[in-house]
Amino acid sequence: MGLLEGKTGIVFGVANKRSLAWAIAQALSREGMRLAFTYQGERLKDSVAALTSTLPDSLLLPCDVTNDAEVADVFGRVDAELGRLDSLVHSVAYAPKDDLENEFVNTSREGFKLAHDISAYSLVALTKAALPLFEKSGGGSVVALTYYGAEKAVEGYNLMGVAKASLEASVRYLAANLGPRNVRVNAISAGPVNTLAARGIKGFTGMLHHHAEKAPLRRNVELEEVGNAALFLVSPMSSGITGEVMFVDCGYNIVGL
């Protein structure tokens, strides 16, 4: 039997086979977890469906995380079709292109609000909607994806770094709030990976090369390594861990110069 046999989870943020969310889903499924997935908009539906159909008994649902009615509908469907929920993976982030590429001081008000709504508040909204199902299952584990740019000013990351800082603070407050209900909330701060979202960051290729040169392991992190870290945080092996940001970045974050 797998480590997660009999457990169920939902994954937000799969876009293609290079997504961190997909690497995590593969690790969870490998250990026996049955998964539900969401997609945002018809443009992504076919590519996400092609991936998720390769996993046993998966469920695919539409969801715009800025729409409370759609969020409620997703968890209603999960309750009806899966009967329980043990984990939630949040790999959702967005900032307008102009606000990523411009100097941070020129961030627009609307861009700032949108980036925080999608990248940070959605964690709160999704966890709130999942809570009744977690309680029905006797507890749960939430894992969010973040990046070092939440702690340090990373060139080109700009508005997304500020939104990720909000996400990391939300992880801590949710963990403190929901711990008495046996719900754990953690984040993974992955090193740069060549995902669809990452390619929207100006100078990303240079960031990859710099990271590989300076990280103690002298390489970039692999998708599978991020997936395995999430598996640990979802599984009973991390039952005493909550409110943490786990770096999976080949050690880059420990280096000063």
Share of the chain above pLDDT 90, in %: 87
Q: Which amino acid is at 33?
A: M
Strand ranges (DSSP E) for the chain? 8-12, 34-39, 59-62, 87-90, 140-146, 183-190, 245-248
Contact 50, 27 (CB under 8 A): no
Per-residue confidence (pLDDT) for residue 257, from 0 to 100: 75
**Domain layout of the chain by residue ranges:** 8-249
DSSP string, 9-56: EEEE---STT-HHHHHHHHHHHTT-EEEEEE-SHHHHHHHHHHHTTST
Per-residue confidence (pLDDT) for residue 207, from 0 to 100: 80
256, containing H or E segment: none
**CA 234 to CA 247: how far, in whole Å?**
16
Secondary-structure class of domain 8-249 per CATH: alpha beta
Which residue did the predictor score with more confidence, 44 or 73? 73
pTM above 0.75, yes or no: yes
Question: Tens of pLDDT along 89-142?
Answer: 999 999 999 999 899 999 999 999 999 999 999 999 999 999 999 999 999 999
150: its two tokens? 């939440």
Q: Which amino acid is at 167?
A: L
Distances (CA, A) of 210 to 75, 192, 205, 224, 247: 41, 10, 9, 21, 17
Sign of the Cα torsion 220, 223, 225, 227 reads positive
**CA 39 to CA 48: how far, in whole Å?**
7
Q: Which residues contact 173 (CB under 8 A, 6 or more apart)?
A: none
pLDDT at 36 over 80: yes
Question: Tens of pLDDT along 61-70?
Answer: 999 999 999 9
Per-residue confidence (pLDDT) for residue 41, from 0 to 100: 85
What phi and psi, each to the nearest 5 degrees, are found at residue 154?
A: -105, 125
Provide the annotated active-site residues.
Answer: 147, 157
* Of 16, 37, 66, residue with least CA distance to 199: 16
Per-residue confidence (pLDDT) for residue 197, from 0 to 100: 62
pLDDT at 200 over 60: no
Per-residue confidence (pLDDT) for residue 242, from 0 to 100: 98
**193-201 — which CB contacts under 8 Å span 24+ positions?**
193/18, 193/20, 193/220, 193/221, 193/223, 193/226, 194/18, 195/15, 195/18, 195/19, 195/20, 196/15, 196/16, 196/18, 196/19, 197/15, 197/93, 200/97, 200/100, 201/100, 201/156, 201/157, 201/160
Per-residue confidence (pLDDT) for residue 156, from 0 to 100: 87
**CA 173 to CA 196: how far, in whole Å?**
29
Contact 94, 142 (CB under 8 A): no
CA-based radius of gyration for the chain: 17
Per-residue confidence (pLDDT) for residue 212, from 0 to 100: 93
